[in-house]
Chains A and B, each alone.
Chain A
Amino acid sequence: MKQKTILSLVLSRLWQLVCIFTLVVNVFAVSSYAQDTEAQDKLAITPSPSNSASSPSSGLGNETFQDYYDQVYQIRVVSPKAGSKSSIGSGFQVSSDGLIVTNYHVISSFAQAPANHKIEYQSHTGQKGDLELLDFDVINDLAILRHSSPSSRFLSFSDTMLSKGETVYALGNPRDYGTSLVKGPNNGMVEHSYNEQILFSGSLNPGMSGGPAVNALGQVVGVNVATAGSQLSFLVPANNAIQLVNAGRTIPQADYQNEIARQIKQWQRPRIQQLLDNEWPAEQFAGLELFGEIRKDFQCWGQTNESNKERDIASVSKSCRAGNSLYLDASLTVGELYFSFDQSSAVTLGELQFTSAIRPWMSANNTSNYEHSSNYRCHVDFLQGSKNSQQFVRATTCIRSFKKLVGLYDSLLMIERIDGLQQFVTHLSVSAIEADQISLLNRKFIERSL
């Protein structure tokens, strides 16, 4: 168990790194993040949509970029009580009537508690004003805001596919230091991801989230979203932003939670159904016929404690995780899919001590708190089917519900098979799925792992 906990800690640490969003001011990083401002300037040139964007056929030479800096707005979520910004990101105007695109995570604190927050922008000239939240897409991390006094200039989307190796220019205001341009190649779509994201080799920094990434023609090809450090950054493809803009919706504040729940359900339904329908390719684990990277978005890691010479229990473990989760709030992430196998055997212990030592415990793999989730309720029982009396199989299922996202649940499943001095534990943790699919997924998982 100890090894297992450490492993999941390491993995979640890795995951957190990937998820350090480029703009959210978070509680733990007060000093540096608190200053993040992201002003997003329009990429200079084109006042009118598509045709004008293509006009500077010279491409974006360093000279012409000057104008683009001015089109990046800094987006701030302000909590009026504190009188100060609580999170910062970048955004850019995409239409003449003042629609501004940014990331959902930039304005997530507003979406979670509209009554206690408001959204403001600051332009490159220092001009400030209020923004209205019209629509958002929590799956692709986008939001549409309306600018009360639209600028005459705005950016247009590219209508051509980005080719691998093509240079992309990302704009934003990292850590409130001033609008910056980051240049780097497009490396195509991120592998091991269920959602499409562009892998961009440039250094996005906190505060740049929501800023535009443009091609050499100054057309928007993506929206800055996250970084994994060291020139590993991610962009939301422009396509998603175009769809959201074209939908032209305005979500009433009272419906934010229902809308978030609806989007999650719509995203999860096919994502989970595919796992239910597909054959999970067999992979060997500690002499057992199991499975691992069951879809391209799953990645597995394995480890043993062989190097520990003083171990009382020998253990081999493997854990697999889907590459996507949704950030809904500083205190809420959902959508994790995670499973692990752990085979242990006693080295020095007798049967009684071995069984006393190996009872694992489970806790949530996604971040949540009292506001969002109920406590887990669990059911534990022994399963039949052991062929001899030397073995038992114990199954534990724990479910918790979301308080505001009605109809969605987190689930933890654990199967332990004890056979003399050997124990095999498998663990499945899924987040924000509807009850019927959790039930089916757990069932398939039990059947496949025993």
Chain B
Amino acid sequence: MRNLIVEITGKEGLRIERVKLNPNGLSIGRAWNSDVIIQDRFVDPDHLRLSVNHEQQILIDDVSSTNGSRLAGKALNGNSQAYRFGEILSIGDTRIKVFDADTAVAPAALRSQWFLLAERFSSMRALFILTVLAVITQAAQEYSSSIEPMKLESLVLVAFSIVLLLLIWSLVLGFVAKLIRGESNIKALWALGSLATVVLNLASIILLVVRFNLQDASLGGTLSILVFGVFLVWLMAGVFSYATHIQNRTKWLSSFLIVVSLYAIAKSDEYLKEPHQKWTSSTDTEQATLPPAFLLRHGVSLDEYQLATDSLFNDSAD
């Protein structure tokens, strides 16, 4: 005799039953006298039979059911078939899994780091500070790239638009999270949004300084794409954590794939251009320009500069 756990997932949801497997077997079906009763109109009164053989293997038999049964996706024929614990049995609209009650269940899954993060910023005070930081960095970023005088109104506008954006972000994603994950996590999403704003603005400012010092449009461009790509993957993984149940690895992989495909779609136009469509009479140079104080390296001498520009003649045939 063995103690088994039967997990039944039907239209009404999940149900777990503890049953004993006698030497004379165990019946599964719609009949009132079945050992495990399945309330599904596509299931026969006596549908499946579980038994144990001499080698203590669990066997499964379809008792000539009307609609048949599937074990791990494969239809059961008339013969007994060995059952491995955890495999999915499908009968009618119901799925059944059987486990050995003596085997220990898996330890509790760790809540992901994302939730630790959310807890750290769960107090209203922490959220407020984070939001203020987001506004400050946003203002700094806009100040550094503005080409018009910044006025007090524009600062108020920055603060207002950041808060509004965070509100929309948290509410919309919170709604999605409620649908998919069952919990809305609005606070966590707000914290993530503010944190992302801070990170994004700091990254932009650092990139601007780096690109200004590099003065290489293509290298600078690649650097920006890399930084913003990594940022997006991180952000999306966070959203997936709060809004869905998907596994850690799937989460990172899918955000990576989404970001890569978004980039590919955005760039496909450029890649598909014929050479003559890429021709332009303008020049492509690094646009980042900052005050002299941000220049962290020394300039080159006129001779070195001339040497570098002379090489432009060598391979300019494209």
Judging by beta carbons under 8 Å apart, are A379 and B309 in contact?
yes
CA distance A295 to B300 in the complex (A): 31
**Which single residue of chain A is at the shortest CB-CB distance from B298?**
A384
The answer on a CB contact under 8 Å between A363 and B282 is yes
> In the complex the two chains form, is B299's CB within 8 Å of A374's CB?
no
Measured between beta carbons, the chain A residues less than 8 angstroms from B150 are 350, 353
List the A side residues contacting B144 at CB < 8 Å: 352, 356
The proximity string for B residues 165-206 relative to A, scoring 1 for CB distances below 8 Å and 0 otherwise, is 000000000000000000000000000000000000000000
| B293/A355 in contact, CB under 8 A | no
Which of B283, B289, B301 interacts with A378 by CB under 8 Å?
Answer: B283
In whole angstroms, how far apart are the Cα atoms of A389 and B297 in the complex? 11
Known A361-B283, A393-B299, A394-B215: A381·B305 in contact at CB below 8 Å = yes
Q: Inside 8 A of A390's CB, which chain B residues have their CB?
A: 292-293
- Per the CB 8 Å criterion, the residue count for chain B at the interface is 48
Chain B nearest CB from A363 CB (Å) reads: 4
0/1 string, A372-390, CB within 8 A of B gives 1: 0111111111111110011
Interface range for A: 35 or more
Cβ A383 vs Cβ B305 within 8 A: yes
Cβ < 8 Å to A, chain B residues 241-280? 275-276, 278-280
Nearest CB of B to A367, in Å: 8
Interface pick from A115-123, A148-156, A257-265, A396-404 = A396-404
Q: In the complex the two chains form, what is the Cα distance from A399 to B316 in whole Å? A: 7
Across-interface contacts of B284 in A (CB, < 8 A): 376, 378
CB pair B301–A384 under 8 Å, yes or no, is yes
Q: Mark B126-149, 1 if CB is under 8 A from A, else 0.
A: 000000000000000001111111
Q: Judge whether B302 and A446 touch: CB under 8 Å.
A: yes
Distance to closest chain A CB from B19 (angstroms): 73
B153 interfacial contact with A, CB 8 Å: no
A20 CB–B CB distance under 8 Å: no
**A356 to B143, alpha carbons, bound, how many Å?**
10
Q: Which of A401-450 contact B (CB under 8 A)?
A: 401, 403, 409, 412, 418-420, 435, 438-439, 442-443, 446-447
**Chain A, Cβ-Cβ closest to B149:** A348
Min CB distance A70 to B, Å, is 45
B306 is an interface residue with CB less than 8 A from chain A: yes
CA distance A446 to B216 in the complex (A): 21
Is A368 on the interface with B (CB-CB < 8 A)? yes
B282: chain A residues at CB < 8 Å are: 361-364, 376
Task: Indicate whether A353 sits within 8 Å of B147 (C-beta atoms), given known contacts A362-B283, A418-B291.
Answer: yes
Task: State whether the Cβ of A391 lies closer than 8 Å to any Cβ in chain B.
Answer: yes
- Is B289 within 8 A of A359, CB to CB? yes
Q: Could you say which of B148, B287, B300 contacts A384, with CB atoms under 8 Å apart? A: B300
Cβ < 8 Å to A, chain B residues 208-226: 215-217
CB within 8 A of A385: which of B281, B299, B311? B299
The answer on a CB contact under 8 Å between B318 and A381 is: no
Instruction: Determine if B292 and A380 form an interchain contact, defined as CB atoms under 8 angstroms apart.
Output: no
- A392: CB under 8 A from chain B? yes
B148 contact from A312, A373, A379, A398, Cβ within 8 A:
A312
Chain B residue at minimum C-beta to C-beta distance from A366: B281
A275 interface residue per 8 A CB criterion: no
A380 in complex: contacting residue of B216, B302, B318, CB < 8 Å? B216
A67 within 8 A of B: no
Say if the beta carbon of A28 comes within 8 Å of chain B.
no
Verify if B286 is at the interface (C-beta below 8 Å from A).
yes
Given contacts A353-B146, A353-B148, A361-B282, contact A400 B316 (CB under 8 A): yes
Complex contact B215–A374 (CB within 8 A): no
Contact status B316-A377, CB under 8 Å: yes
B39: shortest Cβ distance to chain A, in Å? Answer: 70
A370 surroundings in chain B (CB, below 8 A): 275-276, 279
User: Quick check: is A189 within 8 A (CB to CB) of the other chain?
Assistant: no
Residues of A within 8 A of B313 (CB): 399, 401, 409, 435, 438-439
Whether A443 lies near B292 (C-beta < 8 A) is no
Question: Does B124 sit at the interface, judged by CB under 8 A?
Answer: no
Using Cβ atoms and an 8 Å threshold, which residues of chain B touch A446? Answer: 302
> Min CB distance, A319 to chain B, in Å?
18
Residues of A with C-beta under 8 A to B312:
377-379, 397-399
B5-45 near A? 1/0 per residue, CB < 8 Å? 00000000000000000000000000000000000000000
- Tell me if A282 is interfacial: C-beta within 8 Å of chain B: no
Cβ of A357 under 8 Å from chain B? yes
Q: Which residues of B have CB within 8 Å of A363?
A: 280-283
For residue B317, CB closer than 8 A to chain A, the reply is: yes
Q: A394 to B291, alpha carbons, bound, how many Å?
A: 12
Residues of A contacting B310 with CB < 8 Å?
435, 439
Closest chain A residue to B308, Cβ basis: A379
Known pairs A377-B316, A380-B216; A368 contacts B281 (CB<8 A): yes
Taking CB atoms, residues of chain A closer than 8 Å to B295 are: 382, 392
B285 interfacial contact with A, CB 8 Å: yes
Contact indicator A356/B302 (Cβ below 8 Å): no
Interface residues of A in 149-197 (CB under 8 A from B): none
Judge whether B290 is part of the interface by a CB distance below 8 angstroms: yes
A294 within 8 A of B: no
12 intermolecular pairs with C-beta atoms under 8 Å apart: A353-B143, A359-B288, A362-B285, A363-B283, A376-B280, A379-B312, A396-B283, A403-B317, A409-B313, A420-B291, A439-B310, A442-B309
Q: Across the A-B interface, give the 7 residue pairs with the lowest CB-CB distance, nearest first.
A: A384-B299, A357-B147, A370-B279, A382-B299, A363-B282, A370-B276, A399-B312
Q: A356-B289, A361-B285, A401-B313 are in contact. List 8 more A-B contacts (CB 8 A).
A: A312-B148, A352-B146, A355-B290, A359-B288, A364-B282, A376-B280, A389-B292, A390-B293
